[in-house]
Structure 1
């Protein structure tokens, strides 16, 4: 493996760039609290480990080279992101006063789905597979065995992502204490819902890279 420290630096810059994973984590943290944000981040990290395994085993290369498989993952991922965004926007129209017991039950259900949202948002994004297959080889010597280097770099990327989300969710949770007004929360949910739909549309029109 070459320039491992440069790889770590590049990963940090890439991880902190806003994307679908960040949008989902932000939405869940602001609407349901830090535990929901952390569950979302855990789902994202689990998906990254699967992407790492796929890259190591060569499955990502198959997905990237197959226009059909790439399109399937792309459109399913795009539909899911649009669904999450539309669901967030729709909830703004359906907010009504509810009984305490019903509200608590709803919150528990929503928190249990946060892991799934983080996991599916990442695993269904074919651009992550493209990233692993195009970015990781830049730090491996030509002609060398890629199994161990890819595994190490994938685990490193996942670990850095976990650290970033721990900090990010904590920061968002602290900031959210100043944004408890209904109008502010409605604006935030509206913005994040729109962003998720935008990411979904962008992914849907993304061309396969060969």
Structure 2
């Protein structure tokens, strides 16, 4: 491996840049609570480990080089993001009438749903696979094996993502008194739904070889 310190620095910039993962973690922390945010982050990290495995074994290269595979991956991810966005916006219409039922549902199924949302949002984003395949090779010695360096860098990236995301969830939860006011929640969910739909549309229009 080359320039490990530079790799870590670049990871920090990539990780703190807001994206769909941040939007989902914010929404689930505010609506479900700290446990919801933590489970969302765990889902995201599990997906990152799968992306790491794919990069190590060359599967990301197939996604990047095959227009058909990339397109299928991209459209499924885009549809899922738009689905989450629309679902979030739609829930605002029913929240007042179903407040009690919704609370019970969240207490029973919220954590599982949050994990799944974090996992699928990251896993179905082909840009993460492309990022791994274009970013990681920059820090590998030319001509050397990529297996161990990709594995180390992928695990490092996942660990840094977990540390940042858990800290973010903790901070959001700390200001929960303000964040969990009904009016504030409605604003956050409305913004999150709109942002997720926007990310979905952007991903839908993404070209295979930007």
Q: Which residue pairs with 2:13 in the alignment? A: 13
Three-state SS of the structure 2 residue aligned to 1:178 is helix
Aligned match of 2:108: 108
Whether 1:91 and 2:91 are equivalent positions in the alignment is yes
**How far has the Cα of 1:95 moved from its partner?**
1.4
Q: Determine the structure 2 residue equivalent to 1:143.
A: 143
CA-to-partner distance for each residue in 1:175-196, whole Å, 9 max, x for gaps?
A: 2222332111111110011000
Q: TM-score, normalised by structure 2?
A: 0.96
Q: Distance in 2 between matches of 1:16 and 1:101?
A: 35
Counterpart position of 2:163: 163
Change (3 A) 1:21 1:101: closer
Q: Does 1:27 align with 2:27?
A: yes
Answer yes or no: is 1:186 the counterpart of 2:186.
Answer: yes
How far apart are the structure 1 equivalents of 2:92 and 2:102? Answer: 18
Structure 1, unpaired ranges of 5+: none
- Partner SS for 1:177: helix
> How many residues of Structure 1 are paired with residues of Structure 2 in the alignment?
210
Moved over 6 A (4+): none
Q: What is residue 197 of structure 1 aligned with on the other side? A: 197
Distance 2:99 2:19 in 1: 36
For residues 63-105 of structure 1, the C-alpha deviation after alignment (integer angstroms, 9 at most, x for no partner) is: 1000000000100000000000000000011113448576323
Matched, 1:124 2:141: no
Cα distance in 1 for partners of 2:121, 2:159 equals 18
1:102 to 1:63, Cα distance in 2 relative to 1, 3 A = closer
Per-residue displacement from partner, 1:9-57 (whole Å, max 9, x unpaired)?
Answer: 1101110000011111111001110110000000000000000000000
1:208 & 1:103 partners in 2: Cα distance? 41
What SS class does the counterpart of residue 42 from structure 1 fall into? helix
- State how far apart, in whole Å, the 2-side matches of 1:180 and 1:145 are: 50
